[in-house]
Structure 1
Amino acid sequence: MARRKSWMILQEITSRGLMGLLVAVAFLLTYSTTKSIVYAAVAAGFIVICFIIVHMFIRKRKEENAAGMDIADISIMEGSQFEQYLGYLFKAQGYSVEVIQAPSDEGTVLIIAKGGRKIVVQAKRHTSNIGIKTIQEAQAAIAHYGVAEAWVVTDSGFTEAADTLAKSNAVRLIPREQLMEMILELNPEAAIPPK
């Protein structure tokens, strides 16, 4: 997961660096040929606008791809991809979504909001059931992020102890079955795996 995050950071730095380089080249080239700062600034602004449009197009394509996914696709995702996918699912349900790097080495969390209510979401893609440690982390995240409640979303299930602990705290558990329901709301043609 650390390798994937490093790759994503490298892509972001490369993208911004390329934009900065193109803006500088456009500005200098235009200024050297026209001797006008106004024309040079317009050329540089054009490059920035083009980058923004391309970035919006790429984001839109990712959202369209996410809308066509099903639970089988989630099973082969890495943790960061699962977090991004959940962001798309919550956006489709009308939530605003903010991705935050967790203070520990636990990856990232989502802060979702709707109707003035903020919720911290922990995404856990596991092959086994989630235990009480995750519920304790979710409970601590409520105070840390100053939100009303915490949700834990997984593509598996929860242990009985985790379920009991979550019920006595402001932690909502969203196991595989409820996740599939969310996916079907977004993509009614999604394949439902046999039980």
Structure 2
Amino acid sequence: MDIVRESRLKRSDINDIDEMSGNKFEEYLLVLLKGRGYKVKLTPKTGDYGADLILLTNNKKIVVQAKRYKKNVGVRAVQEIVSAQKYYKADECWVITNSFFTNQAIKLASSNHVRLINRSELIDWMIKYNKSA
């Protein structure tokens, strides 16, 4: 990704994210998560086995599914990222959304050790990132 595009994405706020396409949201998360210290790569647009991004730290691999939704995210996203975790042999799996999660998704995530990052936490991350940038 070029510097100009990255700089534009960096300045996005939650209202911008609410209007983004799914692919653009994935690109935004790539920039945000790099800013949080992860090595990040996007998976292919097709055949991604349920993961949109792969994060690497010194000792962990994390698969992430990005859901830019107008409504609450349901169990299917949790099921897909659990499958992706096995496929990619990842240590953790996350679902990140600009929205919130259904109660069923929260229960399933809890029993499968899936980290759910909802709108509130995403906004917190964005605020911290924008202060540091």
TM-score (structure 1 length as normaliser): 0.63
Q: Is 1:73 aligned to 2:16, yes or no?
A: yes
Amino acid at match of 1:81: K
Maintained 8 Å contact 1:153/1:174 = yes
Distance 2:27 2:120 in 1: 19
**Corresponding position: 1:103 with 2:36:** no
In 1: Cα distance, 2:82 partner to 2:5 partner: 31
- For structure 2, the residue ranges without an aligned partner over 5 or more in a row are none
Q: Distance in 2 between matches of 1:92 and 1:105?
A: 25
Identity %: 39
Moved more, 97-106 or 128-137: 97-106
How far off its partner does 1:76 sit?
Answer: 0.7
- Local SS of the residue matching 1:177: helix
Q: Distance in 1 between matches of 2:83 and 2:18?
A: 28
Residue 4 of structure 2 aligns with which residue?
Answer: 61
SS in 2 for 1:122: strand
**One-letter amino acid of the structure 2 residue matched with residue 173 of structure 1:** L
Residues 51-100 of structure 1 show CA distances to partners (whole Å, capped at 9, x for unaligned) of: xxxxxxx7111221122111011011000000000000000011001111
Residue 86 of structure 2 is aligned to residue 143 of structure 1: yes
- Does residue 161 in structure 1 map to residue 104 in structure 2? yes
Q: What is aligned with 1:30?
A: none
1:164-183 equivalence runs, <5 A: 164-183=107-126
Bigger helix share: 1
- CA displacement, residues 149-191 of structure 1 (integer Å, 9 cap, x when unaligned): 1100001000001001101112100000000011101114xxx
Moved over 6 A (4+): none
Give the corresponding residue for 2:32.
Answer: 89
Consecutive unaligned residues of structure 1, counting only runs of 5 or more, are: 1-57, 189-195
Secondary structure at the residue paired with 1:75?
A: helix
Could you tell me how far 1:104 is from its partner in structure 2?
A: 6.1
CA distance in 2, matches of 1:124, 1:168: 20
Higher alpha-carbon Rg: 1
Q: Alpha carbon RMSD of aligned pairs, Å? A: 1.6
Aligned length: 130
